Amino acid sequence: MPDRPAPPSDPRSADAAPPVGRFAPSPTGDLHVGSALAALAAWASVRGRGGRFVWRVEDLDGPRAVAGAAERQTEDARWLGLDWDEGPGVGGPHAPYWQSERGGLYESALARLARAGRLFPCAVSRSDLRDLASAPHGGPGLPPFPPALRPAPPADGWFEDPEARADRALRFRVDGGPVSFDDRVVGFVEEDVRQTTGDFVLQRRDGVTAYQLAVVVDDLAMGVTEVVRGRDLLDSTARQILLARALGGAEPVYAHVPLAVGADGEKLSKRDEGLTVRALREAGVAPEALVGWLAEALGQPGAGRRAAADVAASFDLSRVRPEPVTVPARLAAHLRAR
């Protein structure tokens, strides 16, 4: 199937249908300032244009999920002033909104890719690939999956045969040339997935659906037209575009907002416990003080305390700068004084 480019779409043109955005956190802990930055941007960008907003819980990675974290994340988002038309506590036409309950959809997407010849069972493990990386050109990550390790085309009907899938991951077969997209924050991006990751895993050997597949299947099923998320996911985007096209869909518009970093320039981590929305809330920060600070960090005009709805009314993605946002260590004190 050719990877044809999607028709051009400009979400700002007057006659465009209302946009559909989403926020899709993994429930691995409380929302930190960086996640709040992405959540506010995703929400305000579609709300300001009368669009629909979806909240989805990405809880496929069982061992990393923390019990109760999804509920705490949605509580904290509501405290900030965000809301959603579809998602936890609201329901909606594309339920369920927990990925762990959407396995049937992922399996049927895999079946379609298998029928189209874009999927193969693979016994090559990460450590096999890591061994290849000790070759002179191997960088710090895994080398791209070498096409020479693709198995001979499996017999028709292999997908339905448990034997053919036993103890195998399922990989997407990457064909075609470089993928490019115009990120609303980062600008023009081009990536040749054959050179970066090569054929990538859509279902792990233990049967768990990979993030890359779940996110694309869900964004297509939920009619998402605009993906606003953290910069750490920029290098997943080309793979997701290939998948969306292979599944017969059009990719959304992308905007990767900057990461929040500490005063040392490092990405915020568990270490920075005081920099979660929950901790700021418990330290007596007003939601409008945090929202105002986030909006400023997102390059929006206006200063001081602001309600989320007020930020949405004039929100413009094109004002978001790509450079990392530095979060003062004493953010709570700074915000209480605003």
Distance, in Å, from the CA atom of 24 to the CA atom of 71, rounded to the nearest integer, reads 13
Nearest CA among 198, 192, 151, 208 for reference residue 172: 198
The residue within the footprint of ligand GLU, chosen from 30, 58, 218, 288 (CB under 6 A), is: 58
Pick from 233, 234, 250, 261: which binds ligand GLU (CB under 6 A)? 233
φ, ψ dihedrals at 286, nearest 5°? -80, 145
- 215 binds ligand GLU per the rule CB under 6 A: yes
Q: Which residues make up each annotated binding site for L-glutamate?
A: 22-26, 58, 211, 229
Residue 299's region, left for phi above 0, alpha for psi from -120 to 50, else beta, is left
Decide: residue 181, CB within 10 A, 0-12 exposed, 13-18 middle, 19+ buried: buried
The reply on whether position 26 binds ligand GLU by CB under 6 A is: yes
Contact 52, 85 (CB under 8 A): yes
CA dihedral 181, 183, 186, 191 (to 10 degrees): -20
Residues of span 116-145 touching ligand GLU by CB under 6 A: none
Active site residue 270: yes
Q: Is 57 in the site for ligand GLU (CB under 6 A)?
A: no
List the catalytic residue out of 104, 270, 271, 318: 270
Which pair of tokens denotes residue 227? 């993906």
Q: Which residues are annotated as part of the binding site?
A: 22-26, 58, 211, 229, 270
Please enumerate, by residue number, every residue annotated as part of a binding site for ATP: 270
Give 11 or 25: the residue with its C-beta nearer to ligand GLU.
Answer: 25
Nearer to ligand GLU, 22 or 118 (CB): 22
229 binds ligand GLU (CB under 6 A): yes
**171 versus 239: smaller Cβ distance to ligand GLU:** 239
Q: Residues with catalytic annotation?
A: 270
Residues that bind ligand GLU (CB under 6 A): 24-26, 58, 215, 229, 233
